[in-house]
Amino acid sequence: METKRVMILGIDGYLGWPLALRMLRKGHIVYGIDDLSTRYNAALAGEGSAFPLPEPKEREAYLRELGDLQAFQVADITQPGVLREAVERFRPDAVVHFAEQRAAPFSMMDEERAVYTMYNNIIGTIRLIYALRDRPEVHVLKMGTMGEFGTPNYDIPEAAYVEFTYKGKSDLMPVPKFAGSWYHWTKVHDTHNLLFANRVWGLTVTDVNQGPVYGTRTSDMLMGGSVEDPEAQVDERLRTRIDIGDAFGTVINKNIARALVSMALYRKEGRKLPLYQYGKARQVRGFISLEDSVEALEILINNPPREGEFRAVNQFRELLTTGEIIFAIRDYIQSAYNYEIPIEWIEDPRVEKEEHYYNPEIKVLPSLGFRPKHTFRQLLPSMVEDMRRYLDRLLAFRDVVGEVRIGWRTGIGYSKRVLKREE
Ligand SMILES: NC(=O)c1ccc[n+]([C@@H]2O[C@H](COP(=O)([O-])OP(=O)(O)OC[C@H]3O[C@@H](n4cnc5c(N)ncnc54)[C@H](O)[C@@H]3O)[C@@H](O)[C@H]2O)c1
């Protein structure tokens, strides 16, 4: 396989770090940039990573042990010149753009967070577009989300354009999208800006629409064994950040952490924290494990589109309802630890359809040979085991782990309305 020069924007994050491990272990040359804003924003929201995060200098040193790391640059890509100079210096074959504020609830907390999310995400992408304006030979791999589409009552196309007909006349138009949070809208705006840059300057783009990611490890962090094996030994220095609070945590990761906190508090203090089901809990999303996400990205980097092409990719492994996820976590904890977690059904804090059609197309990754390895249920035991090792950290965040403090209509300070409780 050809050696690639890969720039990773957001190298300190949940996805950026494991992708850097994978690229270096496979012999590619990596240049990373991160402004550490997720560390800072999560701390401001009273949250943090379930696994301890080494200082950037330490992380840089670990990566240098693995391969040819050119830089672990601490910088904000929205600042003028940062990307232009880095691109000039490194001359990448591919730029993977993760460096955005990536939490929907955080963006819905208040006006300042909404403005920050809009500015950070849209301006970062436009800076990247200008840094690559005269370089169609560079492949931009932009991480977007399946949440850009919303939950339409038709199959979600895996395409940049669809034929649109109005009053009997048709034309090709960008695929319609209706996002469900300020954060998700920034991704829609990014897509449109990249489509325009592709049309005007011929930028070469893969626009990845990815579903929520779950998982605590990738094969590159192991000293033996497999990702699904709870007994496999993990190199603790290589752990990624993993968010578990209301503002930053995603549904699977944060609810596993909450289940463990619930069990620990019950055994210490006799009180039982519930897991929450939102509304009817029949909201469907396309999920993917961290290992499969990294694998899919590796395939996309190794198989770029033609120069000047805009390629849209849907990236997920399995469709799950939020209800199934919560029940699966409860059932696993009960069978493995004989602890029964109560479930509280609450009014949905988000504004979304609680029952809907959902059928996204997925053709590009399979056509490139992507065969996802894991399902959520297969990885539950190893995720629980990894988080259990850091129970003290989970308990330090006990007031925010898997809590519901943010409502779409109210912002921060949302007060839950319980519909029913199951013991
Ligand atoms: N985690 C998921 O479930 C998921 C699902 C779909 C899409 N995505 C997208 O994938 C990308 C990575 O997600 P993640 O979960 O790793 O998030 P993350 O917050 O852990 O990582 C993003 C990294 O980018 C950095 N960053 C943000 N703004 C920056 C800026 N202006 N300059 C430099 N660095 C900046 C942050 O400090 C952070 O380390 C995001 O764009 C996210 O929207 C994530």
The residue type at 83: L
Ligand 1, atom 26, residue with closest C-alpha: 99
Q: At a CB cut-off of 8 Å and minimum separation 6, what does 361 contact?
A: 155, 156, 157, 158, 314
96 bridge partner residues: 8, 141
What pLDDT, on a 0 to 100 scale, did the predictor assign at position 324?
97
Strands 5-9 and 94-97: parallel
CA-CA distance, 292 to 374, in Å (whole number)? 7
145 lines ligand 1 (CB under 6 A): yes
Question: With a threshold of 0.85, does the pTM exceed it?
Answer: yes
Q: For residues 180 and 352, is the Cβ–Cβ distance under 8 A?
A: yes
State which residues of the chain have pLDDT below 50: none
Counting from 1 in the atom list of ligand 1, the atom nearest the Cα of 17 is 16
Burial 33-48 (b: 16+ CB within 10 A, else e): bbbebbbebbeebebb
Q: Which residues are catalytic, by number?
A: 145, 183, 187
As given in the structure block, the two tokens for residue 380 are 């539950």
Strands (E), 180-270: 204-210, 213-214
The CA distances from residue 358 to 154, 157, 184, in Å, are 7, 11, 17
How many helices (H) and strands (E) the chain has is answered by 13, 17
Residue 364, CA distances (Å) to 85, 127, 293, 295 in order: 33, 28, 14, 14
Please indicate whether residue 210, judged by its CB atom, sits closer than 6 Å to ligand 1. yes
Within 10 A of 114 (CB to CB), how many other CB atoms are there? Answer: 19
- 213: Cβ below 6 Å to ligand 1? yes
Cα 4 to ligand 1 centroid, rounded to whole Å: 22
Report d(CA 418, CA 415) in Å as an integer.
10
Structural domain range at position 61 = 5-422
Supply the pLDDT for residue 1. Answer: 79
Q: Is the CB of 10 under 6 A from ligand 1?
A: yes
Calpha distance 417→347 (Å, rounded) = 6
* Number of residues assigned to the chain: 423
CATH number (domain holding residue 75): 3.40.50.720
CA gap 314, 258 in Å, rounded: 30
pLDDT at residue number 423: 84
User: How many domains does one find in the chain?
Assistant: 1
Helix, coil or strand: residue 164: strand
Residue identifier of the C-alpha nearest atom 35 of ligand 1? 99
The strand ranges marked E within 272-369 are: 275-278, 284-289, 310-315, 318-321, 343-346
- Rounded distance between C-alpha atoms, residue 225 and residue 232, angstroms: 5
Tell me which amino acid residue 360 is: P
